[in-house]
Amino acid sequence: MECFSFLSRAVAALYSHDVSRTFLKGRTPTRGLLLALVITLCSVVVYSWYIRLQIAHLRQVQSDLVDRNRKDSLQLLRIQNNLNGVALAMRDMVEGDEPYPMTAWEGQFRRLRTDLEDAMKLEDQLAVAHRTVEQRQYLANSVEQFWTETDKMFQLAAGGKTKEAAAMIRPGLETRQAAISNAVARLLVENNQSEEQAAIQIEEVYSRVERQVYLFLAATLTAILVTGLMLTYSNRQLFRRLEELSEQRSDLAQKLIATQESTLQYISRELHDEFGQILTAVGSLLSRVEKKAPPEASWDRDLKEVREIVQSTLENVRSLSQSLHPVMLDEAGVERALDWYLSTVERQNGIAIHYEKSGESRPIGNGAGIHIYRITQEALNNVVRHSKAAEAFVRLRFRPKDLLLEVEDHGVGLQLDETKRGIGLVAMRERAELLGASIQWIPAPSGGTIVRLEIPQEQLD
C-alpha cells in the first residue's frame, strides 16, 4: 500500500509538471495587454502635453493680446481725453468769452501736458506688438511738435502779442490737435480689431480643444473596448484550456484509481489464491507429519510450533488480502463489505464504531461500491490515526434521490491545511468527483469532524 501510494504521488506530481508545462506553452495575453496599457498611457501623456500647450497658448492670447489691448485702450482714451481738454481750452482762448488773458490758460495746459506725457509713456509700454515703429514715432513727434508750438504761442501771449498768439491757435494748433486725435482714434480702432481677432483665436482654440477632447475620448473608449475584448478573448482561451486540463486531470485520476484498484485486486487474489493455498498445503503437510510422528519424538513440539506459525501467517495473509480488496465486495456488494470492514476495524483498533443504516436498500453497482468502500476506509483511517477519538459513528442512509454516507468522530478535528493536504483527502475528493457526488468535511457540533458524502441515485447503478 505504501509503495503504491508513493507511485501514485509520483505519477500525480509528474502529471502536474507536464500539465503546467503544457499550460505555460500556450500564448498568454500579458504582452498584448501590456502593449495596450503602454499605448493608452502614452496617449494620455501626449494628449495632456497637447492640452497644456493649448492652455498656455490660450493664456498667452488672453494676457498678451486681450488684457494688454484693454489696458492700452484705456491709456489711449486717457490721451484722447487730454487732447479734448486741450481743444476746449484753445476754443475758449480764441473765442474770448472768458474775461481772462491767454496766459491764464498756461497752468491748465501744463497739467494736461503732464498727464498726457504720462499716459503716452504707459501707452508706449503697453502698445501691441503689431504696431510699427513708424506709428509710434509719428504719434510721439506729433505731440512733441504740438507742445513746441504751444510754448511759442504762450511766449507770444506773454509778450503782449495776443493777435499773433491767437493766429497760431487757428488753424495751426487746432489742426495739429485734430491730427493727433485722429491718430489716437485710429489706434483705438486697431485695438478693437485686435481684440476681435484675439476673440476669434480664443474661439478657435476652444473649438480645437473641444474637437481633440472628443477625438481623445473616442480613442480612449476604443482602446478600452479593444483591451476589454482582448482580455475577454484571452480569458475564454484560458478557461477553455483549464477546462481541457481539468478533463485530462479527471481522466488521469480515474485511470490512476482504476490502476490502483486493479493492482490491489490482483495482489489480493494472489495472496488469497497463491500464498493462501501454499500456506494451507504446508499446514496440511505439517498436520500429516505430526500425526505420523512417534510419541517419543523430540521434534514433535517444534513441529507443532511451526504449524501454528504457518496457521497464523495464513490468517494474516487472508486478513491482508481482505483489507486490500475484500472478496465479498464483488460477491455480496458494498453493504456486506462495510458490515465486515467496520467490525474488523473495531476489533483491530479498539475503538467503538456505531453503525446505522436507514432507508430502503437499493442495489449499488461495483463501480460505485468500490469508491464508497474506499472513502469509508480512508475516513476511518483518519479517525484511527489523527482524531484520537474512542468511538466513531458511521451512517448509511438510502434517501429517495440519493445515498448519504457520514463518518463522524468526536476527536480533535481535522485541520484542512491546503498547503499540507494529505494524499488520502485528495483521493477521497477525486473518488467523489468520479462518482459525480459531493463530499464535505464539516466540524461536528460536539467537536471532531463529519465526513459527508452525497451520491445522486443515477450514479449508484
The amino acid that residue 188 corresponds to is L
Query: Quick one: 44 and 169 in the same domain?
Result: yes
Q: Distance between alpha carbon 216 and the CA centroid of its chain, in Å?
A: 24
- The whole domain housing 442 covers 326-459
Query: Quick one: 204 and 343 in the same domain?
Result: no
Report the pLDDT value the prediction gives residue 14, as an integer from 0 to 100.
40
Report the pLDDT value the prediction gives residue 25, as an integer from 0 to 100.
47
- Residues forming a β-bridge with 176: none
Name the strands in the sheet holding 352-358, side by side, starting at the edge strand that comes first in the sequence: 352-358, 391-398, 402-409, 449-456, 438-443
CA atoms within 13 Å, Cβ hemisphere of 39: 15
Residue range 391-404: mean pLDDT, rounded: 92
Q: List, for residues 14-65, the tens digit of each pLDDT value.
A: 444 444 444 444 455 667 667 777 777 787 777 778 777 777 776 766 666 6
Q: Does 367 have pLDDT greater than 50?
A: yes
96 or 420, greater pLDDT = 96
Instruction: Provide CB contacts within 8 A for 212, sequence distance 6+.
Output: 47, 50, 51, 54
Residue 424 lies in a domain: yes
Report the pLDDT value the prediction gives residue 8, as an integer from 0 to 100.
47
Report the pLDDT value the prediction gives residue 22, as an integer from 0 to 100.
45
Q: Does 407 have pLDDT greater than 90?
A: yes
| Residue that finishes a domain, picked among 201, 225, 249 | 225
Residue 42 lies in a domain: yes
- Euclidean distance between CA atoms 134 and 302, whole angstroms: 143
Query: Quick one: 212 and 355 in the same domain?
Result: no
DSSP character at residue 160? T
Report the pLDDT value the prediction gives residue 2, as an integer from 0 to 100.
46
Residue range 94-116: mean pLDDT, rounded: 78
Report the pLDDT value the prediction gives residue 333, as an integer from 0 to 100.
85
5 or 353, greater pLDDT = 353
Q: List, for residues 412-448, the tens digit of each pLDDT value.
A: 876 655 444 567 788 888 888 888 899 999 998 888 8
Burial of 346 (0-12, 13-18, 19+ CB in 10 A): middle
Residue 333 lies in a domain: yes
Residue 2 lies in a domain: no
Query: Quick one: 60 and 177 in the same domain?
Result: yes
Residue 7 lies in a domain: no
Report the pLDDT value the prediction gives residue 415, as an integer from 0 to 100.
60
Q: List, for residues 201-217, the tens digit of each pLDDT value.
A: 777 877 877 787 788 77
Report the pLDDT value the prediction gives residue 399, as an integer from 0 to 100.
92
The amino acid that residue 407 corresponds to is V
Q: List, for residues 238-252, the tens digit of each pLDDT value.
A: 888 888 888 887 778
Asked if the peptide bond before residue 326 counts as cis, ω within 30 degrees of 0, the response is: no
Report the pLDDT value the prediction gives residue 153, as an integer from 0 to 100.
84
Query: Quick one: 203 and 333 in the same domain?
Result: no
Report, in angstroms and rounded to the nearest whole number, the Rg of the chain calculated over CA atoms. 56
Report the pLDDT value the prediction gives residue 456, as an integer from 0 to 100.
92
3-state secondary structure of 444: coil
Residue 243 lies in a domain: no
Query: Quick one: 85 and 207 in the same domain?
Result: yes
Average pLDDT, the chain: 78
| Residue that finishes a domain, picked among 225, 257, 291 | 225
Query: Quick one: 177 and 40 in the same domain?
Result: yes
Report the pLDDT value the prediction gives residue 411, as an integer from 0 to 100.
86
Report the pLDDT value the prediction gives residue 3, as an integer from 0 to 100.
42
Number of domains in the chain: 2
Grid look-up 513440539 returns 301
Helix H or strand E segment including 252: helix 174-269
Parallel, antiparallel or unpaired: strands 352-358 and 391-398: parallel
- CATH code, 64: 1.20.120
Query: Quick one: 188 and 64 in the same domain?
Result: yes
> Lowest-confidence range among 5-9, 171-175, 191-195?
5-9
- Single out the residue of 193, 183, 196, 192 nearest to residue 80, CA to CA: 183
Parallel, antiparallel or unpaired: strands 391-398 and 438-443: unpaired
DSSP letters of 292-343? HS-TT-TTHHHHHHHHHHHHHHHHHHHHHHHHHS-HHHHHT-HHHHHHHHHH
Please report, for residues 181, 240, 277, 278, 291, the alpha-carbon distance to residue 327 in angstroms, rounded to integers and kept in the order given: 127, 42, 16, 19, 34
Q: Is the dihedral of CA 179, 181, 185, 188 positive or negative?
A: positive
Prediction pTM value: 0.51
Report the pLDDT value the prediction gives residue 29, as an integer from 0 to 100.
62
Query: Quick one: 58 and 200 in the same domain?
Result: yes
Which segments of 159-173 does DSSP mark as H helices, in order?
162-167
Residue 318 lies in a domain: no
Could you give the percent of the chain with pLDDT greater than 90?
A: 9
| Residue that finishes a domain, picked among 170, 190, 225 | 225
Q: List, for residues 263-282, the tens digit of each pLDDT value.
A: 877 787 777 677 777 877 77
Report the pLDDT value the prediction gives residue 64, as an integer from 0 to 100.
64
Task: Count CB neighbours of 448 within 10 A.
Answer: 21
Residue 21 lies in a domain: no
Report the pLDDT value the prediction gives residue 375, as an integer from 0 to 100.
92
- CATH code, 392: 3.30.565.10
**Among 6-20, 92-106, 279-293, 363-377, which range has the highest average pLDDT?**
363-377
- Give the three cell numbers for residue 112: 494736461
Q: Contact, 454 vs 437, CB < 8 A?
A: yes
> Lowest-confidence range among 72-76, 106-110, 171-175, 297-301?
297-301
